[in-house]
Structure 1
Amino acid sequence: MNLKISGASQIFAIIGDPVAHSASPAFWNAAFHFCDIDAVYVPFRVCRADLAEAITGLKALCVSGCNVTAPHKQAVAEFCDLLHNPADSLKAVNCIKFCEDGRIEGWNTDATGCLRMLTKFGRQRTGLVMGSGGAAAAAIWALQQSGDRVFQIARSYSDAIDSEQTNDIKRLAWNKKNFAYAIEESDIIINATPLGWHKDDFVAELKEFLSKSKFYVDFNYAPASRLVETARQSGCTVMDGRELLLEQGVESFSLLTGLPAPEEVIRRCIFGG
């Protein structure tokens, strides 16, 4: 594939820190090529301290739209003039559009994409979400659309402070006892933390308590994730982060370009073949 960039090419981007691992530029540019769209998609590493300047700069440079990855999903929502459901309730976005009238619109296609993924498992009753950031908020929203009971485990939580159930979410501290309880009670376990990207990342509680009766979903698409490997070895039904990348990518493409996404082209880029 040879990208042809002209003086009229639209610019789309992804911002995050880190961002070098992102698979989004490959499939977005393949989709542009397939659809004969004069556009290019590029990654920008943006640290937390520079986020406000980055959003201003992207807007000033007439970037058409942008995907947002960790750690900026919640912070970028504050820059949006209009948040579409469910981003408005989650206060987190992973997809923003710079409109011609100067407004910034935001969506959370992680949440809607996760919901579509979960429907493939059939009706579940209870879910465990690992993490407390924007990705975790998206996962919880998706589970709650089916009326599911939700456990949330995070290192930032304390049993003494956070263990009271709120809005059908029971928040628990990250420890062996709570993992044993929450996994036993849950049908589906969702990793919405960054754990899995580094080759040494490991959660011993997953190895100890997961079983073949569970469904496991991971928001990360690291090819060598030990968390995903653990879930597969435990006999779980597994969906790794490539499924979510496809779901949210197809939706984001349509939202930001106004055109149907070439799903099979995007799928081949993500899964190979």
Structure 2
Amino acid sequence: MIRLGVCGWPVAHSRSPRMHNAALAQLGLDDWHYQLLPLPPHLFTETVKALKPLGFRGVNVTIPHKEQALALADEATETARAIGAANTLTFNDDGTIHADNTDAPGFLAALNRSAYDKTALVLGAGGSARAVLYALKQAGAKEIHLWNRTPARAQALAEEFGASLGVATADIVVNTTSVGLRDPEETFKALPIVADELGAGCTVVDMVYRNGGTLLLNTAKANGADVVDGLEILVAQGAASLERWTGRTAPDKAMREAVTDIAR
């Protein structure tokens, strides 16, 4: 059995196993299996380094481990190093660990508008925020603003990626925080944005996904904004990870159906 998984804390909400196992079945890889790997931060590095002998080919990495994932890798893509975080680890036959970041291309693939010459507001300063900032810069965004609940962390990240610190009205708003992840009643009012500003002409992206959509996306959609659900980004980045592990073209249609069926 060749094993794959997703490491996070928390991770029980993840639809990656359903998505990847549907893809593996579509590809006829019956001896492959994808699973949840709930890992608290203090056990992450030690546990990941022990996965190869257990039959693991690779793992996805989610909150809060993405920066730690890059740090433990023996080698990494230029994209992962430029972002400073990894969401995809591959265990090589020689025992080394390879790091990649498919969040950035996944974000751009799911975004339903060009970011070129647009203004953007990124909420959060973790590994996902790093990928989004990198992607927006690569796509030619005119101006990027960054906010985080910990100002010092936001300031360091803003300086690194050439973003402006603070909140401003923007063409593209991206939530990379965990607001709404644990508690379905948790509102985006914990974020420094006003519902009336999320209207027509604005694209709102939420990396968090929930059955029926997050309150942030539902409010923005009701106000006339274009919205991008975290599920679309999940599929795009997951397909890129799967192709790295298997060497096969990912069946993204089967992957999308697997995660959207459960969302209905």
2:147 is matched with: 153
1:168 is matched with: 162
Unaligned runs of 5+ in 2: none
SS in structure 2 opposite 1:142?
A: helix
SS in structure 2 opposite 1:86?
A: helix
Greater mean alpha carbon deviation, residues 194-203 or residues 27-36:
194-203
Shift of 1:62: 3.2
Does 1:131 pair with 2:145?
no
Shift of 1:165: 6.1
Shift of 1:163: 11
| 2:146/2:158 contact within 8 Å kept | no
Query: Which of residues 169, 187, 192 in structure 1 aligns to 2:171?
Result: 187
Does 1:216 pair with 2:204?
yes
Identity of aligned residues (%): 31
Matches of 2:233 and 2:159 in 1, distance apart? 28
Return the letter of the residue paired with 2:179: L
Shift of 1:146: 2.1
Return the letter of the residue paired with 1:214: C
1:55 is matched with: 48
Greater Rg, structure 1 or structure 2?
A: 1
| 1:129/1:150 contact within 8 Å kept | yes
Shift of 1:147: 2.2
SS in structure 1 opposite 2:194?
A: helix
SS in structure 1 opposite 2:56?
A: coil
Matches of 1:246 and 1:163 in 2, distance apart? 27
Does 1:264 pair with 2:253?
yes
Does 1:245 pair with 2:234?
yes
RMSD of equivalent CA atoms: 2.1
1:203 is matched with: 188
| 2:70/2:99 contact within 8 Å kept | yes
SS in structure 2 opposite 1:235?
A: coil
Q: Cα deviation per residue 1:94-148 (whole Å; 9 max; x = unaligned)?
A: 1110000111111111111112223x30345111100000000011111101221
TM-score, with structure 1 as normaliser = 0.87
Return the letter of the residue paired with 2:113: F
TM-score, with structure 2 as normaliser = 0.90
Matches of 2:50 and 2:164 in 1, distance apart? 40
Shift of 1:46: 0.3
Aligned pairs for 1:59-78 (under 5 A) are: 59-78=52-71
Structure with greater contact order relative to length (CA < 8 Å, sep ≥ 6): 2
Equivalent pairs counted in the alignment come to 254
| 1:151/1:171 contact within 8 Å kept | yes
Matches of 2:128 and 2:157 in 1, distance apart? 21
| 1:206/1:227 contact within 8 Å kept | no
SS in structure 1 opposite 2:174?
A: strand
Does 1:233 pair with 2:225?
no
Shift of 1:208: 4.0
* Structure 1 residues 235 and 35: alpha-carbon distance in aligned structure 2, compared to 1, 3 A threshold: same
* Structure 1 residues 257 and 162: alpha-carbon distance in aligned structure 2, compared to 1, 3 A threshold: closer
SS in structure 2 opposite 1:193?
A: coil
* Structure 1 residues 162 and 99: alpha-carbon distance in aligned structure 2, compared to 1, 3 A threshold: closer
Matches of 1:52 and 1:164 in 2, distance apart? 27
Query: Which of residues 235, 242, 254 in structure 1 aligns to 2:243?
Result: 254
Matches of 2:62 and 2:34 in 1, distance apart? 15
Unaligned runs of 5+ in 1: 1-8, 173-177
Does 1:107 pair with 2:100?
yes
